[in-house]
Amino acid sequence: MTRRKSTHQLVKDIQHAGGCSHPIRLRGEFVNLATGEVNERPLLVACKYRRAVICPACSYLYKVDAWIVVSTGLIGGKGVPASVSDHPRLFLTLTAPSFGTVHARRSDRSCQPGRLRFCGHGRSLACSRRHDDADPEIGSPLCDICYHFAGAVLWNAESSRLWNRTFEQIRRRLAIALGVSFEELSQHVRLNYLKVAEFQRRGLAHFYVVLRADGPGAPFSPPRPDLTTQRLASIIESVVKDFSVSGPRGTVSWGQQFHLADASTLSRDDLRIAAYLAKYATKSADGSMDFEQRFRTRSEILNINAPAHLQQLALTA
């Protein structure tokens, strides 16, 4: 009888932890509300880790939640009115600048085509190969002496600050465009966004941002009619193009590859955006376990089985 009861409890514990791969074991006292009886027993709770390589079950839950948050924020549902579909909504892709020529796989599958050219170290800066998508060489520099590893590490470290300052500047330009002071802007329009970072094969973060303009007052109220999607898009574009942030460690700015899409066109497109953001919210830096750990020594970095340029970035950091 006791055995059957404990098996039942075990199944309940696993269910409570949502099938988590690394549940956290807590000790606690449980009060039976009917009898007042107090029992002390361990309880398994989910780790809630969002990286799929660490915990597939918790990551899956996070991914579904992220999908729901983005899709309802764009087209309504689950308490969000469908009228948000009439608000200006944009999908931005922000990239890092170049820190040197790297092996790539472009849409036409070329790498670095063109006439043969060499760097000061006598290495070729052209590559006529067509890399397979799984080729670990993609993202690695054509000359690892020329490549500015320190600049790449600095950019990753400062990229969140760069976005925060860019967003502030967008709001400042928006206030000017609407003819109000920066302090008064929230009484006219509110910009809500969700940002997800993905690491490119070259080891640099790039950001996907989904952004919606709301009116002041009640949540999800419509913005003033003179704030159109096109107007907001041109303000964002003008800010991102030449915005930079300077600090004691140097200056960082956005890369040339900036993409801005009107998210209010098709509902099917909106859901593709939601799937995109949910996917990258749960992906690890390079899709493996290699960088999902804290390194204490240089030899720990050298012992992982990762592409050489990613190891070099970690060593530089």
Residue 63 Cβ vs Zn ion, minimum distance, rounded to whole Å: 13
How many whole angstroms separate alpha carbon 96 and alpha carbon 82?
35
How many whole angstroms separate alpha carbon 166 and alpha carbon 48?
31
Residue 24 Cβ vs Zn ion, minimum distance, rounded to whole Å: 9
**Residue located via tokens 């376990």:** 289
Tokens encoding 73 = 């924020």
Residue 103 Cβ vs Zn ion, minimum distance, rounded to whole Å: 4
Enumerate binding residues for Zn ion (CB under 5 A): 20, 46-47, 55, 58, 103, 111, 119, 121, 127, 129, 143, 145-146
How many whole angstroms separate alpha carbon 4 and alpha carbon 39?
18
Tokens encoding 151 = 């600049």
Closer of 24 and 266 to Zn ion (Cβ): 24
Closer of 17 and 235 to Zn ion (Cβ): 17
How many whole angstroms separate alpha carbon 12 and alpha carbon 42?
12
46 neighbors 20 (Cβ within 8 angstroms): yes
Tokens encoding 78 = 């689950």
Closer of 40 and 108 to Zn ion (Cβ): 108
How many whole angstroms separate alpha carbon 171 and alpha carbon 185?
8
Closer of 55 and 285 to Zn ion (Cβ): 55
Residue 7 Cβ vs Zn ion, minimum distance, rounded to whole Å: 22
Residue 15 Cβ vs Zn ion, minimum distance, rounded to whole Å: 13
Closer of 135 and 198 to Zn ion (Cβ): 135
Closer of 129 and 148 to Zn ion (Cβ): 129
317 neighbors 309 (Cβ within 8 angstroms): no
Residue 172 Cβ vs Zn ion, minimum distance, rounded to whole Å: 41
